[in-house]
Amino acid sequence: MSQPHLPCRPVRGIRRWAAAAAGALALTAGLLAAGPQASAASLTQVSGFGTNPGNLSMYAYVPDSLPAGAPLVLALHGCTQSANDYHTHSGWSTFADRHGLAVVYPQTSTANNANSCFNWFEAGDSARGRGEALSIKQMADKAVAQYGSDPGRVYITGLSAGGGMTANMLAAYPDVFAGGSIASGLPARCAEALTAAYTCMYSPPDRTPARWGDLVRSAAPAGTTSWPRVAVWQGTADTTVRPANATELRDQWTNVWGIGQTPSDTRSLTGGTTVTTYDDASGRPAVEVYSVAGMAHGLAVDPGSGAEQCGTAGTYYLDTICSTYHTAHFWGLDGDGEGDGGENPGTLPAPAGLTVVATTDTTVALAWEAVAGATSYTVHRNGTKVSTTASSLYTDTGLATGTTYSYTVAAADAAGRAGLVSPAVTATTTGYTPTCHTASNYDHTTAGRAYASGGLTFAKGSGQAMGLWNTFTIHTLQQTAPGHYVIADDGCPA
């Protein structure tokens, strides 16, 4: 009997080796014939979404009459799967119809990877501004523009190899994604070469939370202070991506948030699922880990018509609990989840006329029309609550220069219950102060100013070649914009 297939199968440029190993690592294709759920909307391919350096395809499911300012979810399939497969089985179409949100399904192919895996383990495909990662980011930009989605409520989720890529996207683009959900996946930047991929899957490195967190911080734009809210889903009987990966993911993202690894709450759900929650300083869940007892490698689904059910069972879609329902609730997409601040939302209308009054290098001033019956207002930046104010004016401070932020406002009643959220506005702070850094190629990479690939070093952002990755080759890099460095060995103007 052939062994089950490996959805995280990491292959690029070694297809002969992959063919020889296919007997031991073969994955039964999950492309079942069932079509998408009944709806006037359907899964549609979208073209012209950017330069597409990662050679990916874009598919979207957009409910009819989608309102402007709706959330956007990007959902990444596992190996040998496709956009249609993930759309059919994961249940995201159910909640897109129910809550009013667009879903984009990036799709890779055998042209990129012999088993149609996202190349989560390749630095050239998983770093900011490069390869598949940039293609996925371009899809988000396209969807925001085409469907009028709220740029402050963009989320990403993925299964297995798609989960590994999701973690890398959250690290590389925390300014794009308000939240993420990693199903049977790997910590961000656990591997940046094929040889390390299997180690991560079968025996993940037991790094300290600080070391895991540093990998995220070095992948993100310099000066990042706002981070995505992250859900982690893992089966305890997974022999393909070992359950220890969920622990390392927890360590990584709680460290990024600076909240430690002691749970704020632990509770039991259906399907033998235990969820541990780690709150941020304001008491909102920042990281949640869902452990499904006895579940093997796959995405947790729960077929049925109940309010908390979703999806279709199949290869690597396992009938246990609807992870999509709980993920949407965690992000607040249902208007009643942790992401929106509680179980009892208020009834006040959304504040009208939210505008950007002024910007400086580090501040954004906002104003909106007062709401009758409101005793306070909650202000969210990039989907994260940053203030509660009694005034219809607010100035956000301590921001990074030359950076774009998205804001929404909700009115709260005397009981502190926030009502409907306003349409989002965006604001870009002014200015940028270039900086200079002289160090070895090794130190540049560990500091996040460069990245290593194939034993060579490249400047982050510009991609300029810097030579061998070692402690002996010295370069001066000038940071000319957030996350963008150029070689300045002949003199650094900054």
The pLDDT score that the predictor gives to residue 300 is 98
Domains in the chain, number:
3
Place of tokens 């774009």: 404
Residue 479: C-alpha distances to residues 115, 354, 457, 469 (Å): 38, 34, 16, 20
The pLDDT score that the predictor gives to residue 40 is 54
Identified catalytic residue from 160, 291, 323, 392: 160
Helices 244-257 and 209-219, packing angle to 10 deg: 70
Q: Mean per-residue pLDDT for 241-260?
A: 96
Do 233 and 369 reside in the same domain of the chain? no
| 232 falls within a domain | yes
Alpha carbons 140 and 56: distance in angstroms, whole number: 13
| 3 falls within a domain | no
Q: How confident is the model at residue 14 (pLDDT cuts 50, 70, 90)?
A: very low
The pLDDT score that the predictor gives to residue 53 is 96
| 345 falls within a domain | no
* CATH number of the domain where residue 373 is located: 2.60.40.10
Do 110 and 169 reside in the same domain of the chain? yes
In terms of Cβ atoms closer than 10 Å to its own Cβ (0-12, 13-18, 19+), residue 263 is middle
The parent domain of residue 420 ranges over 355-428
Report residue 115 CA to chain centroid gap. 23
Alpha carbons 272 and 428: distance in angstroms, whole number: 46
Q: Are 204 and 187 in contact (CB under 8 A)?
A: yes
pLDDT digits 0-9 by tens, 440-449: 999 898 888 9
pLDDT digits 0-9 by tens, 292-346: 999 999 999 999 998 899 999 999 999 999 999 999 999 998 865 444 433 345 6
pLDDT digits 0-9 by tens, 155-192: 999 999 999 999 999 999 999 999 999 999 999 999 98
Question: What DSSP designation does 338 have?
Answer: G
| 350 falls within a domain | no
Out of 428, 451, 470, a domain closes at 428
Out of 340, 368, 390, a domain closes at 340
Closest by Cα among 435, 456, 465, 460 to 447: 460
Helix (H) or strand (E) holding 439: strand 435-440
Q: How confident is the model at residue 17 (pLDDT cuts 50, 70, 90)?
A: very low
| 8 falls within a domain | no
The pLDDT score that the predictor gives to residue 15 is 35
- Our answer to whether residue 282 is catalytic in this structure is no
Alpha carbons 156 and 419: distance in angstroms, whole number: 25
> What are 291's strand-pairing partners?
234, 274
Q: What's the maximum distance between 2 C-alpha atoms anywhere in the chain?
A: 69
Do 114 and 131 reside in the same domain of the chain? yes
Alpha carbons 206 and 250: distance in angstroms, whole number: 12
| 4 falls within a domain | no
The pTM assigned to this predicted structure is 0.67
Q: Are 37 and 93 in contact (CB under 8 A)?
A: yes
Q: Are 188 and 168 in contact (CB under 8 A)?
A: yes
Report residue 326 CA to chain centroid gap. 16
| 170 falls within a domain | yes
Closest by Cα among 308, 297, 312 to 91: 312
